Amino acid sequence: MPPPDRDGADPQLAVEPSKETDTSEDEQLRKVGLRDRILHFTWPWYSCTMSTGAVAVVLAQTPNRFAGLDTIGTIFFILDLVLFVSFTTAMVTRFIMFPQKLSESLHHPIEGLFFGAAWVSISLILNSMQAYGVPNCGAWLVEALKVLFWMYCAAVLLVAIFQYYIFFQSERLQVKDAVPAWVFPMYPLLVVAPMAGTMIPSQPTAAGYSMWVGAVMLQGLAWTVSIMVYAMYMQRLMTSELPSPPTRPGMYISVGPAVKNQFPYMQLTPDPGYTTAGLISLGTQAPNVLPSNAFGISNVPDGQVVRALGIIAGTFVIMFSVWFFFISSVAIVAGVKRMTFTLSWWAFVFPNAGLTLAAIQLGKAFSSPGINGRGYANIVKVEDQESEANAYVDEVWGLVYSLQQTDEDRLDVNEGVPFAYTKEDLKVDFWQAHHGSPPDTKEEPKQVEMLVYINRRMTTMSQPKKEYIYRMNQGIKDAVNQGMPKAYVETVMRRFIPDVEDEKVAEMAKKQALVFEDER
């Protein structure tokens, strides 16, 4: 029988019937009223809101989207809010009814560790506010999220400092009984980098730079502490047995051995998937937020160097997460026949959501079609009679834009250079506009080398997505207004880009554009 809580309560289970009396099970259950259930409502329940919020975040960042995905994600976000408010109400009620429980819960060597779960839930709510709220609410929410971001960082840093101080000062935990959950007070800091990576694109440059620096520092603190716990974890893994089957889903966050007395609780260490997602996300944001010569090194594009380092670091870490995933899966399958529900089952969701986010970020960084399944828009020659008969068979028309280096850096990220598209300088016929008026294409053009983004490998025809058609039509309108021949549009482009409008598709396309690096 597991050792009891200080008041005889199991921090996870609602009640444990006494085995020393002859009272029937029905009589025992009748004794568990609302007051008793409130008494035993503990911090580990926030693992539920961690998982629900993680699903909403994953849906917001899923690269292959359809029109209803935002609605599904919003439903999960609202559900997460409802659950969080309900759980927080239950916890506050518990501490009002039993004031001593607040201090006892934070000092308890098992329940106290899960105080961080509530803060992780808050970070996921903020992340969802950015994803689902900012496109609909505008600038005021962007400013509010900046304030909430720094308030969250300050709060969780204090949690990490003072909760560890409480354990160092008041508890005498034995190293031989070490559990991976000892690092959980640091867990809220591990999700700062992914949260910052989501918020930075909509923030002004100065605010985004401050967020970027703070996220790197706090993520570094959390990951360094987690490495220390991983060392203890590996030692116990080699010398102890696996957790009991009902608690093995918790191994998706930590494949940690059971503690000495077989506590049936989740055993948590930081999931490296969130660190991977954070490193790559912050790395890809670096060219946009780091000022030139940020590190005092001349003639070096600081942002691009940091971007490369972030992607390399994330790639280096992600297999650690994959390795944990497969070990956990094998252990769960081996004990599946003896599994019963515990709160550790929420670990089926939250850590694997981190691995999914890491895979999404890695796919974006390498423009992987296997992960992101992106399409490619190219101009290629079509060998058919209709094409051979038109006057534009050997011509490509388009607008030319003047780019600053910072704009080009952002466009490189958005276009997945050098994996999705490569950059080439091609000699073109150029008509220059004057004073905002369209150029006269009947005049003799200049021969000028222009920067072009192109993919010479992906040349198979396909059906463009509806949101891409919307964005292309916006570009076609601008191009025609600036002098591109309407005959070219009708003869060449309308074969693939129909002139249609759909309000729902337009709204979806505008929301997608908010995450484009060159749309900031």
CA–CA distances in Å: residue 152 to residues 43, 117, 146 = 18, 13, 10
Cα distances (Å, whole numbers) of residue 376 to 101, 407, 475 = 58, 21, 17
Q: What percent of the chain has pLDDT over 90?
A: 22
The mean per-residue pLDDT over the stretch 212-230 comes to 90
Number of DSSP helices (H) and strands (E) in the chain, helices first: 20, 2
For residues 85, 145, 314 and 252, what is the CA-based torsion angle, rounded to 10 degrees? Answer: 0
Which of residues 128 and 478 earns the better pLDDT score? Answer: 128
418 vs 166: CA distance, rounded Å: 50
**pLDDT for the residue 195:** 94
Residue 161 half-sphere exposure toward CB, CA atoms < 13 A: 7
Q: Does residue 11 have a pLDDT over 60?
A: no
Greater confidence, 444 or 296?
444
Question: Where is 451: in which H helix or E strand?
Answer: strand 446-454
pLDDT score at 27: 55
CA pair distance 266, 12, nearest whole angstrom: 9
Query: What confidence category does residue 6 fall into, taking pLDDT thresholds of 50, 70 and 90?
Result: very low
State the pLDDT at residue 356: 87
Pairing of strands 422-430, 446-454: antiparallel
Which residues in 209-353 belong to E strands, given as ranges? none
pLDDT digit string, tens, across residues 433-442: 877 788 888 8
Q: What is the pLDDT of residue 269?
A: 43
**Over residues 192-220, mean pLDDT:** 92
Task: Return the residue matching tokens 């759980």.
Answer: 87
Beta bridge partners of 452: 424
* Mean pLDDT lowest among 96-100, 168-172, 253-257: 253-257
Looking at per-residue pLDDT, the higher value among 312 and 113 belongs to: 312
pLDDT in tens, 50-80: 999 999 999 998 887 776 888 999 999 999 9
Q: How confident is the model at residue 326, as a pLDDT?
A: 85
Q: Which helix (H) or strand (E) holds 405?
A: helix 405-414
Task: Please identify, in words, the CATH class of the domain defined by 25-372.
Answer: mainly alpha
Q: In the beta sheet, which residues pair with residue 427?
A: 449
CB of 292 within 8 A of CB of 302? yes
CA distance 417 to 403: 16
User: What's the predicted TM-score (pTM) here?
Assistant: 0.71
For residues 290 and 410, is the Cβ–Cβ distance under 8 A?
no
Domain ranges, ordered by start, for the chain? 25-372, 385-519
Whether the CB-CB separation of 50 and 122 falls below 8 Å is answered with no
Contacts of 483 (CB under 8 A, 6+ apart): 431, 433, 438, 439, 440, 441
Between the ranges 21-30, 158-167, 381-390, 402-411, where is the mean pLDDT highest? 158-167
Q: Cα 172 to chain center, whole Å?
A: 37
Average pLDDT, the chain: 79
- CA angle 150/70/194 to nearest 5° reads 30
Dihedral of the CA atoms 311, 312, 315, 321 (nearest 10)?
Answer: -100
Q: What is the pLDDT of residues 103-114, one digit of tens each?
A: 888 888 778 878
pLDDT value, residue 81? 96
